[in-house]
Amino acid sequence: MFGKGAASLPFLVKKERQMIMFKKRARKIYSLIFVLPTLAAFIIGFVYPFFNGIYLSFCKFKTTSNATFVGFDNYIQAFQNEGFLRSFWFTALFVVVSVILINLIAFFVAYVLTLGIRGSNVFRTIFFMPNLVGGIILGYIWQLIFNGILQNFGSNIELDATYGFWGLVILMCWQQAGYMMIIYIAGFQSVPADLYEAARIDGAGKKQVLTSVTLPMMMPSITICTFLTLTNSFKLFDQNLALTNGAPGVVSSSGTMVYQTEMMALNIYKTFYANQNSRGVGQAEGVIFFVLVVVIALAQLYFTRRKEVQQ
Amino acid sequence: MKRKNVTRVAALTLAGLMAAGSLAGCGESSSQGGSTGGDAKKGKVYYLNFKPEQDAAWQDLAAKYTEETGVQVTVKTAAEGTYEQTLTAEMDKSEAPTLFQVNGPVGLANWKDYCEDLSKSDIYSQLTSQDYGLKDGDAVYGVGYVIETYGIIYNKTLLQKYCDSDFATVKSIDEINSFEKLKTVADEIQANKEALGVDGAFTSAGMEASSDWRFKTHLANLPIYFEYKDEGISSTDAIKGTYLDNYKNIFDLYITDSTCKGSDLANKTGSDAETEFATGKAVFYQNGTWEYGMLTGKDPKSTFEMTDDQLGMLPVYIGVGDEAKQGLCTGCENYWCVNKDASEDDKAATLDFMNWCVTSEVGTTALADDMGFVIPFKAAKEATNVFVKLDNELTANGKTPVSWNFTTMPSENWKNGVGTALTQYAAGTGEWDDVVKAFVDGWKTEYAAANAG
């Protein structure tokens, strides 16, 4: 409607022209008003807590409204926290393994389900479903399953860090692969058929089609999927809490328990509530964690984006 | 044109409302302070309750109070094991709890800045002994409102059945008055579990979060109690662990003469043990007075039907001191605190409500009957709880109650560390040395961390 009005602008009399200009300005004001609720929500729900959180990481506090500034103390303590450092390496290992496995599984399933076999839609729905279940519930369900098997061998998922690690990996694959599969299916379907035809005419083999046509054309999907799996795995909390809660632990030389299957988010949560002085330390760990996730995610985006091709 | 006007008006109204809403939100907090004394009729009470078992009873009592006085009382209960988290979050709100709980000196250190001095309050003067006040210097920041007792609950019918059997070396329940005797009985029950129709002497010592406090906190109280007694102290920055071998002995007994394997304990819950005991699958069950409602079916959530004459409680013997004189573990880890930052009206209303709970007919009846509490106040009703009666009996017979010293444990982190070490020891994947390390070295580290600055 607006475009039409603008096109006929030269033929309008002055008064009408002014009217349109007025409407244009009004539109701007309207759009501001309409964006206001969301903007307010964003500021209240994100911007303010975010900056307040950074400020609190430099404070000693009990409740957020009652904080005393202590400088870098919390950060020093955070880096001295054995559990935090241990959780970083555990998280890093988990991220590497789960990102690779989830994407391989999702890619493969998506490939199979785009071949046009009967019942593809049913399978897609079923594979996607685990994603709709909440993390805590999933964690408890899988704990029952794993323990049901492990108790025949006199063990338990909370007693062996290896079981705990692979338990988490299996759980995450099961939950995330379906979601990534949907993205990959969309990717597969967006590759134009004429590209395949051209490749075949040029005498490309199956392997060559995959590496020179499908994969480059799928790079946007791969970027998204690696980004999602990377950040999801890094920030994992619910599943970790419900499945192992960090157990088993090893007693360090200072007598504190260092938990073996504790990921960073869970460690931060536990540090926060550890004792009356630890809130700020937990907060500082949270800020360090944020910086880490942002840096790694941006690096990943940079590297996979470079491989994307224009269609 | 007309339609546009409508939209414009609607949009402006909406924006206006939003702005008004956010301004109103900011303004609220500025209304506190000012007046002295406060008007209880104008105030309201928000109680953040610690005990999930008593949630329904508190809601009920709050409703009755509102009906009687017209003062609004909100009761919220934190889920098991999340009180500290819930309290932290709630205290940050503009409508913060006016009445909350701390568990003793360590809990108080956490929240002292938020506690009103109760030394001049009515409720403090109602205490039967001023020892139940949680003091810091001259100020009284908390008032203990419930006295509880724990020990080894036993099934009288089954234990009598054991005593009457030919394989029994201990021929009467009264003879069990030391760790040695307890171990003999438990071992013999375990060896003859088929004959007695049980799965084990002790219920599963579950190490899941709903149950592990029975061992990492309550059982751990005993070595701490005896050490404090030796040293003549009431708290410490570094525990020696003099009686940790005895702690090991009793824990070993729990996990060997048990209904299940040690490796299964990691996921056994509180209700697992409760069910085993209430259905007669085990003879002994370490727990406290608060279990009475569940075991007898007086708690509406319970489906069990044990009777008073089936229930008894033994002291937790660990083989230290004069065991013949040892009583049950009795103490308090529930102190009421009033939020200092609440408005004067709310504070007045809260103090009135607390006082009403422990002095009025309705309040004391509810606390004694519906919640099964023994309250240390002058107007207290006699509790119907059989464990409570037993405790009074033992004390009257000259036994010395074991006090609750776990309130001096340095932090939650310390308890969790000991709990994890115990779980792994029970499963056979960890060593007892780790429990000792977490107990002794961990105490020192955690105490230093919690009390720095």
Q: What is the pLDDT of residues A35-89, one digit of tens each?
A: 999 999 999 999 999 999 999 999 999 888 888 999 999 999 999 999 999 999 9
Residue B237 placed within a domain: yes
Spatial neighbors of B176 by CB under 8 A, at least 6 apart, are B170, B182, B185, B314
Q: Is the pLDDT of residue A2 over 80?
A: no
- Nearest one of B184, B188, B186 to B152, comparing CA atoms: B186
Same domain, residue pair B292 and B265: yes
Which of chain B's residues have a Cβ under 8 Å away from the Cβ of A19?
none
Euclidean distance between CA atoms A287 and A285, whole angstroms:
5
A74 touches chain B (CB under 8 A): no
* Residue A20 at interface with chain B, using a CB cutoff of 8 Å: no
Q: Is there a single domain that holds both residue B99 and residue B183?
A: no
The reply to whether B419 and B366 lie within a common domain is no
Mutation choice for A interface testing from B29, B263, B432, B433 by most A CBs within 10 A:
B263
| pLDDT for res B42 | 87
What average pLDDT does chain B have? Answer: 89
Residue keyed to tokens 């049901």: A148
pTM (2 d.p.): 0.84
Provide the token pair at B423: 């779980």
Cβ–Cβ below 8 Å for B417 and A256: yes
Contact pairs from chain A to chain B, CB under 8 Å: 131
When pLDDT is averaged across residues A179-184 and rounded to a whole number, the result is 96
Question: Is pLDDT above 90 for A3?
Answer: no
Distance from CA of A4 to the nearest CA of B (A): 18
Is B307 inside a domain boundary? yes
- Residue B413 forms part of a structural domain: yes
> Domain range spanning residue B285?
150-328+394-451
A172 Cα to chain B: minimum distance (Å): 22
Let me know whether B251 and B305 are in one domain: yes
B267/A143 touch (CB, cutoff 8 Å), yes or no: yes
* Chain A residue at shortest CA distance from B90: A63
CB spacing of B423 vs A64 below 8 angstroms:
no
**How confident is the model at residue B342, as a pLDDT?**
93
B191 plus B218 within the same structural domain: yes
Interface of A with B in 216-255 (CB under 8 A): 245, 247-251, 253-255
Pairing of the two strands B200-202 and B326-331: unpaired
- The encoded tokens of residue B252 equal 């070993």
**Cross-chain Cβ contact B412/A256 below 8 Å:** no
- Does the pLDDT value for residue B390 go beyond 80? yes
Looking at the fold, whether B225 and B341 belong to one and the same domain comes out as no
How many domains does chain B fold into?
A: 2
Measured in angstroms, the CA of B413 and the nearest CA of chain A are apart by: 5
A29 touching B, CB under 8 A? no
Of A245, A257, A278, the CB nearest to B438: A257
pLDDT at B37: 63
ipTM of the complex: 0.82
Q: What is the DSSP letter of B420?
A: H
CB contact under 8 Å between B420 and A248, yes or no, is yes
Q: Which residues of B touch A60 (CB under 8 A)?
A: 453
A272 has pLDDT over 80: yes
Q: Do B423 and A276 lie within an 8 Å CB cutoff?
A: no
Q: Rounded to whole angstroms, how far apart are CA atoms A176 and A186? A: 16
Nearest alpha carbon to residue B186 among B255, B257, B250, B249: B257
Could you give the angle at the alpha carbon of B21 between the alpha carbons of B18 and B26, nearest 5°? 130
- Cis geometry, peptide bond prior to residue A248 (ω within 30 degrees of 0): yes
State residue B65's pLDDT score: 95
Spatial distance between the Cα atoms of B411 and B445, rounded to a whole number of angstroms: 10
Tens of pLDDT, residue by residue over A96-110, are 999 999 999 999 999
Residue B341: name the closest of A68, A62, A278, A54 by CA.
A62
φ/ψ bin of B216: left (φ > 0), alpha (ψ from -120 to 50), beta (otherwise): alpha
**One-letter identity of residue A30:** Y
Q: Say yes or no: B155 and B182 in one domain.
A: yes
Residues in chain B within 8 Å Cβ distance of A152? none
Is A86 an 8 Å CB contact of chain B? no
pLDDT at B23 over 80: no
- The reported pLDDT for the residue numbered B412 is 87
> Which of B203-207, B223-227, B362-366, B380-384 is predicted least confidently?
B380-384
Over residues B31-38, mean pLDDT: 42
Percent of chain A scoring above 90 in pLDDT: 71
**Nearest CA to CA, how far is A229 from chain B (Å)?**
29
SS3 A199: helix
- Residue B182 tokens read as 């307890």
- Quick one: B49 and B190 in the same domain? no
Q: Rounded to an integer, what distance in angstroms lies between the CA atom of residue B357 and that of residue B355?
A: 5
How near does any CA of chain B get to the CA of A249, in Å? 7
pLDDT for B165-181, tens place per residue?
999 999 999 999 999 99
> How far apart are the CA of A154 and the nearest CA of chain B, in angstroms?
6
Contact B421 A257 (CB under 8 A): yes
Do B67 and B163 have their domain in common? no
Residues in chain A closer than 8 A to B452 (CB atoms): 277
User: Which stretches of B86-223 are assigned E, i.e. beta strand?
Assistant: 99-102, 133-136, 139-144, 148-155, 200-202
3-state secondary structure of B76: strand
Give B97's contacts in chain A (Cβ within 8 Å): none
Q: Which residue of B has its CA nearest to A31?
A: B11
Q: Which of the residues A28, A245, A276 would you substitute to probe the B interface, choosing the one with the greatest number of B C-beta atoms within 10 Å?
A: A276
| pLDDT value, residue B26 | 39
Indicate yes or no: CB of A254 within 8 angstroms of CB of B423: no
CB contact under 8 A, B437 and A147: no
With CB atoms and an 8 Å threshold, state whether B263 touches A156.
Answer: yes
What residue in B sits closest to A70 (Cα-Cα)?
Answer: B453
Written as six digits, the tokens of B285 are 């069950």
Read off the pLDDT band of A199 (50, 70, 90).
very high
Q: Are residues B142 and B249 in the same domain?
A: no
Is residue B234 located within the same domain as residue B316? yes
Residue B206 lies in a domain: yes
Which chain A residues touch B241 with a CB distance below 8 Å?
none
Residue whose C-alpha is closest to residue A139's, from A130, A127, A150, A151: A130
Q: State how far the Cα of A196 lies from the Cα of B197, in Å rounded to an integer.
A: 74
Do B324 and B339 reside in the same domain of the chain?
no
**With an 8 Å Cβ cutoff, are B266 and A159 in contact?**
yes
Instruction: Please say if the pLDDT value at position B11 is more than 60.
Output: no
Of A158, A247, A274, the CB nearest to B412: A274
CA angle B344, B346, B351 (to 5 degrees): 95
Q: Where residue B38 sits, what CATH number does that domain have?
A: 3.40.190.10
